[in-house]
Every structure is written in C-alpha cells, then in structure tokens.
C-alpha cells in the first residue's frame, strides 16, 4: 500500500512546477497592478483641481460616465464645486473644463498649446496606429486637402449630385417598407453618400452596403465603455472593433492601390489626395479616409435623424417646415419640385429649417471635444489650475447646451429660439453654441454637413409623407457619448416611422 507521504510527494512532484509558475505569475500581475494604482494615486495628488469620484471606487466613474455621461458631468460639477476636474477611466484620462470662459479659452488656444491631431492617437489609437508617425508635413497637407475637398464649390456640387441620387434610391426603398427605423436608415444613407464621395463609385458599387453596416458598428464599439476603460484587453467590443477596422482598412487600401495605378480622377476625395500628394503616402491615405468617413457619419446622420423624428412628433413643426419649403422661389419656378427649373436647393432660404437644425445640434450635441495639451509645462485653464502636458483636455458641448443659465428650458425642443438673430449672434459671440467649433478649431466639414442635411430634409419632405408608426411612440431617449459627434438613442429604443411617397404631389398641398 502506498503511504500517504508517498502520495503527497508524488502530487508535489507533479504539480509543484505549475504551482510555482502560477504563484510567480500572480505575484507579477499583483506587482504590475499595484504599481499602476500607486502611480495613478500619485498623479491624482499632483493635480491642483479635484478628481471625479463615486460611491463605487475605481470603476464607478467609468460606469456612470458610460451610462449617463451628461448627468454625470453635471453632478460632478456640483459635488466638486469646480468647473475643472479629472475623469479617470483607468486607461483613459479626461480633464474636463466646463463653463463658457473655459470653452472660449479652449477654442482660442493655438495648436502649440492644444492640438487636436496629437490627441487622436490617445483617444482613438485604433484609427491611426503608426500612420501618425510620419513626416509631419503629411498631416498638415492631408488636412489642408480635406478642407479643400469639403468646401470647394465644385466638390460641394459633386456631393449634392450624389446625395440627390442616393436620397431618391432611399425613398424608393422606404416606400416599400412597412416601417422605417429612422436612425438606422439615416445612418445608412449618410455613409453610402460619404463612401461614394470619398472613395468613388467602384467601392460604392461593390461593397457599399457592407461597409455602411461596418461603419455604424465601428463608432458604437469605439465609444463602448469596455473599450474606453479596458483597451487593449480582448473584450468582445474591442475584438469586434479591431476586426471591423482591419476590414475597412483593407478595402480602402485596395481602392487606394487601384486609384494610384489608374491615375483616373473620378471626382472623389481620394482622387484629390493621390493627385496632390502622389503615391508616397498610400499607407496614410487609408487611415485618413477611415477617420474622415467616420467623422462625417458621426455628425451628419444624427442631426438628420433627430430632426426628422421631432418633425414627425410635432405636427405644428412639420407644417411650418412644409410651408417654408413651398414658399421658396426655387419651388415656385420648379413647378412643384424643389431643385428643378435650373436651380439648386436654396438652403439659405430655409430659415425655419435652419432653426430646427440648430436646435437639434443644441439638443443632441456631441458629448465632448478633446485636444492634447502640447504646451510646455501644461496649459493653465483657470488661475492656478494647470492641465498637465501630454494629457487630454475636454470641453462638453452637451453640458453647455443644457445649462439653464445660457439656454432657457434647455431640455425642450424649441427651434423658434433661433429665429431671433440677436439670440443666435450672442450665443455665437460667447461661444456658447459649439457644435461646429470656432476659430482654427472649426469643423472643416460644416458646409458639407449642412448642405447634406438640409437638402435631404427638403427632398424627403417634399416627396414623401412621414408619420409615426405608433401614435403612442415617443422621441427616444438620448445615450450621451454613444458617438464622437452627435449622440444617438439607446439601442433598445428604435424610433420607427412610415415613409410613403406623396401620391397627390407636394404642390397640391
């Protein structure tokens, strides 16, 4: 009979190496985690402004930030008694600077002090990777070309042509559907037009639908709380993000290669890049196009969908917009169809529709805008409060747009407030209305986005009748921070409407 002592010796001989390895591994992990939290604590104590806290330590701020970011910021501002505070999400750190004066300081800063492009690899490393480690002249020239590509009349006219074609296709599709998921369809429409505008017809024709779905998922995963707090740990959203990113990059790079070989100018933004910069930066083109398509989607699609949702929800608003569209000179000369009669869409005449756009932007504005502090020694935002060099400084347009001291009844959707030109001018002077940015930090796609949304609204509303699917259906609740531009509704609250072609013609109304 084998003795107990012999059995123990056998077990030890068998499992001791594994036990020792596991013990060492556990000790190393414990040491790494301990060093991380000690370093984190020392960093917090070095700041001369407070750190956001919750009842649940460590993960609490990340959870609340992801679940209800707007209320989280408002509560922290009140609890801490400060417009300046750190939100530490473990992997990412956001130094929020709230209030009108801090917003103005943010926008007035030079690129030597606060730099957007330098901040992208910190917040969105998956969108740039090593593509940013390149001759800095590419960044300057690439983004200068983006400014040109999204603002030249020739390019805007090309974008308008693509938009009208795609809206008409969408209308035909919606007319055959029992109900339309407003936000899904507006996202799909926006991405398809943008893909065609930036990458050209070949990608659009071969993989447009597939890529549209991927881009929608890409932004959701980039803003997912697990990605924001745990990257690069292989969580489900992170693995999905990397897969989608790699697939998109592969398609874009194939398009770049084809474009370089053919030297054919198809009017796309990619053609402009290749023509102006040549094949040298082919690797960077993929990341640049990836980011620009995402940026276009994140702002344009949300504003398009939220506005249509509110018009469907409020008959008085809808009637005002329809009456305005009927009263335009272009409509009268076009015999019932805006945009015909040799005239393009007169978006400058859309006073009330413009007010609706501004109110949508205010109501569902992007949750935060960021820059990297590049000023030596840090950036002093308030007397004695210095954001350290290398950190992300953030403002929150959403928080400012829902400040009762600036906007009366901020949670009410009231486009009429923007019909007062002095009201608009005052908010603009104070930089209190900040969706498009200011000064050197202004969005270079603003003209593209405004043309896109206003023409899409005009064409959809004059060609179709929109009604809510269920009279009891309410405007969906916004999930703040669900995107890097306009925030979207919670996924479990789709907003369905019926979109049917007008049988009687718009001019008969």
Cα–Cα distance measured from residue 83 to residue 76, given in angstroms and rounded to the nearest whole number: 9
The token duo for 50 is 């407070």
**Helix (H) / strand (E) containing 290:** helix 282-313
Query: Apex CA 362: angle with CA 356 and CA 366, to 5°?
Result: 125
- Percent helix, percent strand, percent coil in the chain, to nearest 5: 60, 10, 30
Cα distances (angstroms) measured from residue 303 to each of 114, 170, 356, 418, 450? 28, 17, 10, 16, 10
Sheet with 93-97, edge to edge strand ranges = 84-88, 93-97, 392-395, 369-373, 114-115
Binding residues: 443
> Could you tell me if 424 and 406 are in contact, meaning their C-beta atoms sit under 8 angstroms apart?
no
- The C-alpha atoms of residue 479 and residue 491 are separated, in whole angstroms, by 9
Cβ-contact 374, 389 below 8 angstroms: yes
Distance from C-alpha of 176 to C-alpha of 198, rounded to nearest angstrom: 29
| Torsion angle (degrees, nearest 10) of CA 68, 69, 74, 75 | 60
Residue 466: strand pairing partners: 499
- Indicate the annotated binding residues for heme: 443
Q: How many CA atoms are closer than 13 Å to the CA of 364, on its beta-carbon side?
A: 29
Give backbone dihedrals phi and psi of 332, rounded to 5 degrees, phi first: -65, -45
**Residue 484 and residue 223 in contact, taking contact as beta carbons nearer than 8 Å:** yes
259: how many CB neighbours lie within 10 A of its CB? 24
- Maximal C-alpha separation, the chain: 107
How far does Cα 193 stand from its chain's mean position? 17
Q: Could you check whether the bond before residue 232 is cis, i.e. omega within 30 degrees of 0?
A: yes
Distance CA 41, CA 56 (A): 16
Angle at 356 between CA 440 and CA 402, to 5 degrees: 65
CA distance to 397, 398, 485, 491, per residue, from 369 (Å): 7, 10, 9, 23
């Amino acid at each position: 009979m084998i003795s107990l002592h012999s059995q123990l010796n056998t077990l030890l001989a068998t499992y001791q190496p594994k036990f020792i390895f596991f013990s060492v591994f556990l000790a190393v992990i414990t040491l790494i985690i301990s060093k991380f939290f000690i370093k984190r604590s020392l960093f917090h104590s070095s700041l001369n402004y407070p750190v956001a806290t919750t009842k649940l330590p460590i993960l609490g701020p990340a959870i609340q930030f992801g679940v209800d970011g707007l209320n989280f910021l408002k509560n922290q501002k009140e609890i801490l008694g400060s417009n300046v505070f750190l939100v530490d999400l473990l992997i990412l750190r956001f130094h929020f600077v709230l209030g009108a004066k801090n917003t103005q300081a943010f926008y007035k800063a030079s690129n030597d002090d606060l730099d957007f492009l330098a901040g992208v690899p910190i917040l969105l490393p998956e969108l740039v990777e090593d593509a940013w480690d390149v001759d800095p002249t590419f960044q300057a020239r690439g983004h200068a070309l983006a400014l040109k590509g999204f603002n030249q009349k020739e390019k805007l006219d090309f974008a308008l042509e693509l938009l009208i074609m795609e809206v008409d296709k969408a209308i035909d599709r919606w007319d055959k559907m029992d109900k339309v998921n407003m936000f899904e369809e507006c996202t799909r429409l926006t991405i398809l037009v943008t893909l065609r505008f930036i990458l050209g017809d070949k990608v659009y024709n071969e993989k447009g639908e597939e890529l549209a779905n991927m881009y929608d998922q890409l932004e959701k995963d980039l803003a997912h709380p697990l990605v924001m707090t745990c990257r690069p740990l292989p969580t489900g959203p992170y693995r999905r993000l990397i897969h989608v990113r790699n697939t998109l990059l592969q398609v874009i790079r194939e398009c770049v290669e084809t474009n370089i070989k053919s030297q054919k100018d198809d009017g796309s933004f990619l053609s402009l890049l290749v023509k102006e910069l040549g094949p040298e930066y082919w690797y960077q083109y993929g990341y640049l196009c990836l980011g620009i398509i995402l940026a276009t989607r994140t702002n344009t699609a949300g504003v398009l969908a939220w506005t249509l949702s509110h018009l469907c929800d409020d008959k008085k608003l809808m009637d005002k917009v329809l009456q305005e569209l009927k009263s335009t000179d272009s409509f009268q000369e076009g015999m019932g169809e805006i945009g015909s009669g040799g005239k393009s869409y007169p978006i400058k005449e859309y006073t009330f529709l413009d007010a609706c756009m501004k109110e949508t932007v205010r109501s569902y504005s992007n949750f935060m805008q960021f820059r990297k502090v590049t000023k030596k020694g840090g950036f002093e935002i308030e007397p004695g409060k210095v954001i350290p060099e290398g950190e992300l400084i953030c403002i929150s347009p959403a928080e400012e747009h829902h400040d009762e001291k600036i906007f009366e009844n901020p949670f009410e959707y009231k486009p009429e407030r923007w019909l007062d030109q002095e009201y608009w001018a005052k908010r603009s002077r104070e930089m209190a209305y900040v969706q498009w940015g200011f000064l050197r930090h202004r969005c270079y796609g603003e003209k593209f986005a405004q043309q896109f949304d206003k023409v899409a609204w005009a064409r959809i509303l004059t060609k179709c009748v929109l009604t809510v699917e269920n009279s009891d259906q309410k405007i969906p609740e916004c999930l703040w921070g669900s995107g890097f531009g306009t925030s979207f509704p919670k996924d479990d609250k789709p907003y369905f409407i019926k979109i049917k072609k007008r049988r009687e013609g718009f001019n008969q109304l």
